[in-house]
Amino acid sequence: MRTPIPGIQFPTQWPSDTLIVFEQAPNPSDLWMLDLSDPESPRAEVYLPLEADLDHMVVSRDGTLAAYTSDESGRDEIYIRSLPEPGERTLVSEGGGLYPFWSPDGNTVYY
């Protein structure tokens, strides 16, 4: 089954059998989630709408947090928010950051 989504999509992670996270471009990008829990009716929905250029979303091992890159401060920084609903953002990097990824135990974000 096809799920039409406007623009160009760049998958950033497939954290489980039923979830793919991706960015939708052209720049600036939004962050999206594709829910595959019902194979007959996959659902694509925006996780974070355009606030700035949002990229490189990765989900924590337990599936409760998302780390991503945003240039909302004027330079690329790493932020964390809750998942599946984005709560308040928490700045992780100071002085710039790109390409976040979670440690194997899920307690640390590297970038």
61-71 tens-digit pLDDT? 998 999 999 99
Asked if 48 and 56 touch (Cβ cutoff 8 Å), the reply is no
pLDDT for residue 13 is more than 90: no
Of the candidates 69, 48, 82, the residue with the CA atom closest to the CA atom of residue 111: 69
* Cα dihedral 7, 71, 68, 52 sign: negative
| Interatomic CA distance for residues 51 and 59, integer angstroms | 19
Q: Which whole number is the average pLDDT over 13-40?
A: 84
